[in-house]
Structure formats: C-alpha cells, structure tokens
Amino acid sequence: MKKFFAVAAAATLVLAGCVETKSEKEAGGVSESGTDEKPVIEVLGMASNEQDMNIVRDQLLKNGFEVNLNIQPDYGSFTSQKDAGNYDVAVSSWTTVTGNPDYAVRGLFKSDGASSVIADEKLDELIDAASAVTGDEAVEAYKAVEELLVFDQAYIAPLYISNKAQGIYSAAVNPDTVRLSKSRAQAWEKISFNDESLNASETLVLHQAIGSLTSLDPIKANDGSINTLNTNMYSRLVNLTDEDEVVAEDSLSYNFAMTEDNSNYYFILRDDINFAAVENGAAVDTGDLVSAEDVVFSLNRAKDPESVPDHRTYSLHENMETVEVVTDLAELESATTPDGESVLEALSNELPADITTLVASEDEVDNAAGNYQVVKVTTTQPFPQVLNYLAHQSGGIVSEQQVSSINTFDVASYDPNSDIAYGDQSTVTEGSSYDNHLFASGPYILVQKNDYEAQFVKNPAYRADSEYAPLIDKVNVRFIDDNDSALSALRNGEIHVLQTVPDTKYDVVSSDDNLTLKQADSNGVSYLQFNMSGRDVSESADLRKAVLYSINQQDFITYYQGNKKPAVSTVTPLVDTGLTFEADAEKVKEFLDAYAQ
C-alpha cells in the first residue's frame, strides 16, 4: 500500500513539472502540454496520517489542482519539513487539553503564538477579546474568531473532530477505575487491578507512541511525549473533571475562589503532599512540603519566557501578572466572589480545621491547627480561563530548591551539549548519563527509562495513608509507535490500557472478551494548516479558499465508519458558534478564477 502511494506521489511530481507557473501565465506563456495551468498544492503529513492525505489529494484533484504528497515517517521529520517551509498545507491536529477555547486558538493562531504561522492583528484582537468574556458573549466572540480564521481568510481548512476511544485489558484491570477524560491527560492514581491485592506487587503497563521525551520540566514541553507523564508527576493548583469542569479535587488546593471582577484568584493549599526523589532506584519522601513558596516559584517561571531555554508553554501563562502568598486574613474577608460571598467563605469549605492564621513560610504550616497558606494569582485583565491553564500539565508545581540547584547555567548562553537542565531525559536514561535529579509533587515519579519503556513508582509522600494515595505501586509506560502493534499488545495482555484505539478497530476491541472499549467525546480536531510564508497560498486568500471549499468532511466521516464529526475550527468541540462548513465546488471555481486574474 505504501509503495503504491509513493509511486502515485512521484507521478504527481512529474506532472507538476509540466504545468505552467502563474508568472508564466501572466507573461502569456503556456504549459508544455498546452493546457491551462492547474495550481500545484504540496500536502505535508506523517505516514500515520497517510489516509487523510490521500483523501485530501483526491478531493483537490477532483477540484482542478495538481497535488504533491510530502509524506514523512515520524513527527520529528514532519516538524523539520514544516519548519523548512516545504509545504502548502500541512495535515495537522490539535487537542485542547485544558478544556477552554482560548487554548484552542491562542498558541495556534495568534501572531506571537508558540505554534502559529499567522500574523494578523485583527485576529489577535478577536482572540484577546474572546478570552475575557463568558456565556453568550463568549459564543459571539468565538464566532467572530471562526469567521475570520476560516471563512474570511482561510488560514486553516477543517477536516473533522475525533472521538476518544480507549481499550482496557479488563481481564486484569478494573475498567471502572480507568478514566477517559475529554481533555485531561490520563490520571493513574485511581487505577486498580481487579484483584486489589495485586496493586502492591504487580506492574500496571500503559502505552504511548513517543519514546523520546522532550522534557520532564513541565514548562519546557507541550507534546504527546510528556503531557501524560508530567501530569502524573506534578501536582497543580486545580484539575479538570472528565467533562472539563475546573475543580480542586485531587489537586494541591482544598478550594479556590475568584473575585467578582474575574481578575484575582485565590487557592488554599493542603499540607499532606511532600516532594518525592529517587534514591537507589526507589522513591523516597524528601520531607520537603509542596508549599506556597514552590507555587510562586513555579508559576513565575511558567509565565516568564526567559526563565528556561526553549520555553514551550509561556504563552499559556502570560496572562498572569503577579503570583503571591497572602498573609492578611482581612483581604479574604473583604474580597467578594461573583456569587456574592466572601473569598474567605469560599475557601473555608470542608477544611481539616477552621482558618485561624495565614502563614508565609512552609515551616509554620499546620492545617490541623488552622494554619494555612493561600496563594493569589492576579491576571493582566479579566481572564477566567486562567484556571484552565493552571490545570494544564505546564502548571505543575516543581521544587524551588531542587530546580534552582540544577539550573545554575545562564539561560541566554545555554548549551545543550554541555549544560544539563532540570528535566533533561538523559538524567533518567539508563546507562552512563543516568543521574536522576527529579523531585515529583504528584502521585508518581519516573525512576528510569530506556528505548523500550519508562518506569514509574508511586510517591510515598503523596497524601500517604489516605484514600487519595495512588493505588498501584509501579507503573511502566511502554513505547510502541505503531497503532496496530499496540493493539496487538493490548489483546495479548502485554499492556493494560491503550489510550487511543484506531477508529477503524473499535469492533476488534469490543468483540474481545478480555477487553473493554470506552468511548467519549474529545476536543481533538484535525485540519489543514496553510503555509503563510513564501508560497502562493501564503499570498493569496483566493487560492486558500479554493482549497478550503474543496474539502468534503463527509468523505472522512465515511472512511472512519462514522467515528468522526464535522468541524469548523479547533474551537468547535468547545463552543457552539452556530457556524457550519460545507464543501462547495462552485466556490472553488469562483476562487480559482479570482486567483488566476
């Protein structure tokens, strides 16, 4: 199959060499074949998206384009080709793991976004305006974003929304304990074997495709190699439920509250989580409380683009203006929430003891005696979506003492060949480079990894001796980059949970007596990203719109056996703007004619 498509792509390349260029046409030239020019579109994607690329190719050919397929074997080579600009459209996907629409657009489409190739001041203004409002105002604001992004400028062309499907080896693992969240990365601490007596002795084996870990420092990476791993290694101030509600449950906070102006956010911290470290291959309690000082340190570095080399997540946190420890109880009494109660009342729900004192130092913390730490985050503008970003893995709390002791280099002159940054995967890779310096504030800590798997153990100081302590002692994450191989491993019981079951293999899982298939809605959207630099599509909105209206989403839905849904943009799963998108051959012709003028 792959050989056939490679030949087809090569044939397209030969045909592309015979067509007249736009500049030749403007000069009155003709192609060698004597036919009118057909615009050539280069489609970039990974081998794992080959079927999507083939559907796009067929739709474009049908609508009068020539097509080159640039198929790359993996994400690294795909990224290299994209960075080099070797594409007209790139088959892209995005999952809004924070559950809020701002995350679905800010980093992708704002001029200063970490993943953006677009520079449009009007779009920037619309994204910023939408981020500050809620309810019906937010619906109208994101409708304006979609209208400009897709219909007015055709910066992207939507393909489909994916469903989520998870396969569980329920012959061994209790499927009721395995969460399938719409946005949040998989949480491990509640997973249990059917025979609970095995939780202390048996290893839970999970799966992910990518074995090369970008960084175990939560702010230095935001990709599929580390999102789930860092989510389980670092506590955050808040979490998301499976349905994307922001809650304090299983977080570092007992409760949180925001003021009625949507600009000040308060978090009251618990005192039953210490950092874990690794000594002689085992997790140990460092005795160091995960404290307000660590929170302030972590969030200040999260919002500072210069705090670490190659900071990948600062754009998620740039709307935090200040992060501080509150010691004045009167401030909590006078501040009012949108519901009209005081912040003190909102923070006081179901605590171990009533709040008597707010303390600045972790040495003074004693929740049972009424001594608490409270952290206040103030945003640069009204920005309720800050809570969703604090639930993201990049909001994970690291140890101020440990990170500061590792990151002693000058950030501006950082040399990855000689400087070792906190979270560098080399420090946990078995062999001569192994020197595990991780401090984990979450339920698990990574002990070591190799090319085959990463080995985690539970944090003995994470809510120890309570019902919230991790249930399974040891978790291995197996690296298998081929979906079919991963599915075979699940069926053989070699892995216990397959987080992503291919859309065309649902029946394989559901018909196996040893397996359980779980399904849920997702925030994952696939789309074509137009190259906005150095290509004809970069300069011509008409050409981009001709490509846009060539895309028939029903072809994708049919191929994936109804397991995809229509999309307009990455916002679609989060906000119903009322907009819809449909292929339109007449509009394709109209925009191609306009482009040819």
Residue pLDDT, tens place only, 564-583: 999 999 999 999 999 999 99
Mean per-residue pLDDT, 124-137:
92
* 234 and 94 belong to one structural domain: no
Maximum Cα–Cα distance across the chain? 88
Q: Residue 162 to residues 116, 187, 337, 483, 526: CA-CA distances in angstroms?
A: 22, 21, 37, 16, 8
Query: Would you state the torsion angle of the CA atoms of residues 328, 329, 331, 337, taken in this order, to the nearest 10 degrees?
Result: 150
Tokens of 481: 């980059």
* 420 and 532 belong to one structural domain: no
Number of continuous H segments (helices) and E segments (strands) in the chain: 20, 21
Average pLDDT, the chain: 92
* 529 and 413 belong to one structural domain: no
pTM of structure: 0.83
pLDDT of 7 > 80? The answer is: no
Q: Residue 517 to residues 49, 472, 500, 527: CA-CA distances in angstroms?
A: 23, 22, 10, 26
Residue 269 belongs to what H/E stretch? Answer: strand 264-269
User: Angle at CA 300, nearest 5°, toward 296 and 303?
Assistant: 145
**Nearest by Cα to 273 from 471, 98, 470, 456:** 470
Q: Is residue 201 part of a domain?
A: no
Residue pLDDT, tens place only, 524-547: 999 999 999 999 999 999 999 999
Q: Is residue 581 part of a domain?
A: yes
Q: Is residue 172 part of a domain?
A: no
Q: Is residue 570 part of a domain?
A: yes
Mean per-residue pLDDT, 230-241:
97
Euclidean distance between CA atoms 139 and 146, whole angstroms: 11
pLDDT of 18 > 50? The answer is: no
Q: Is residue 541 part of a domain?
A: yes
Tokens of 458: 């539970």
User: What does the pLDDT read at residue 8?
Assistant: 36
pLDDT of 29 > 70? The answer is: no
**Nearest by Cα to 299 from 275, 286, 273, 318:** 318
Residue pLDDT, tens place only, 386-443: 999 999 999 999 999 999 999 999 999 999 999 999 999 999 999 999 999 999 999 9
With tokens 């999309």, the residue in question is 567
CATH for 293: 3.90.76.10
* 227 and 158 belong to one structural domain: no
- Are the C-beta atoms of 244 and 101 separated by less than 8 Å? no
CATH for 537: 3.40.190.10
User: What does the pLDDT read at residue 36?
Assistant: 64
Instruction: Give me the domain span that covers residue 270.
Output: 221-445
**Nearest by Cα to 117 from 147, 82, 145:** 82
- Are the C-beta atoms of 78 and 46 separated by less than 8 Å? yes
User: What does the pLDDT read at residue 31?
Assistant: 33
387, 419, 445: which is the final residue of a domain? Answer: 445
Query: Would you state the torsion angle of the CA atoms of residues 555, 558, 563, 568, taken in this order, to the nearest 10 degrees?
Result: 30
**Nearest by Cα to 570 from 561, 581, 559:** 581
- Are the C-beta atoms of 386 and 256 separated by less than 8 Å? no
Residue 572: half-sphere exposure toward Cβ, Cα within 13 Å: 26
* 391 and 534 belong to one structural domain: no
* 313 and 439 belong to one structural domain: yes
Q: Which residue has the higher pLDDT, 283 or 381?
A: 283
With tokens 């990894």, the residue in question is 449
Q: Is residue 481 part of a domain?
A: no
* 260 and 407 belong to one structural domain: yes
* 87 and 229 belong to one structural domain: no
Q: Is residue 207 part of a domain?
A: no
* 148 and 228 belong to one structural domain: no
* 242 and 152 belong to one structural domain: no
Residue pLDDT, tens place only, 465-504: 999 999 999 999 999 988 899 999 999 999 999 999 988 8
**Nearest by Cα to 209 from 451, 480, 449:** 480
Residue 574 CA to its chain's centroid (Å): 15
Question: Domains in the chain: how many in total?
Answer: 2
Instruction: Kindly give, in sequence order, each residue whose CB lies less than 8 Å from that of residue 562, ignoring residues fewer than 6 positions away.
Output: none
User: What does the pLDDT read at residue 223?
Assistant: 86
pLDDT of 113 > 90? The answer is: no
* 155 and 73 belong to one structural domain: yes
pLDDT of 10 > 80? The answer is: no
Q: Is residue 472 part of a domain?
A: no
Euclidean distance between CA atoms 385 and 132, whole angstroms: 8
Strand 474-479 relative to strand 497-498, pairing: unpaired
Strand 89-95 relative to strand 40-46, pairing: parallel
Euclidean distance between CA atoms 97 and 227, whole angstroms: 9
User: What does the pLDDT read at residue 224?
Assistant: 86
Euclidean distance between CA atoms 389 and 215, whole angstroms: 19
- Are the C-beta atoms of 209 and 479 separated by less than 8 Å? yes
445, 465, 484: which is the final residue of a domain? Answer: 445
* 571 and 430 belong to one structural domain: no
Mean per-residue pLDDT, 266-270:
98
Euclidean distance between CA atoms 573 and 148, whole angstroms: 18
Q: Residue 45 forms beta bridges with which residues? A: 71
Mean per-residue pLDDT, 48-71:
96
Euclidean distance between CA atoms 40 and 536, whole angstroms: 9
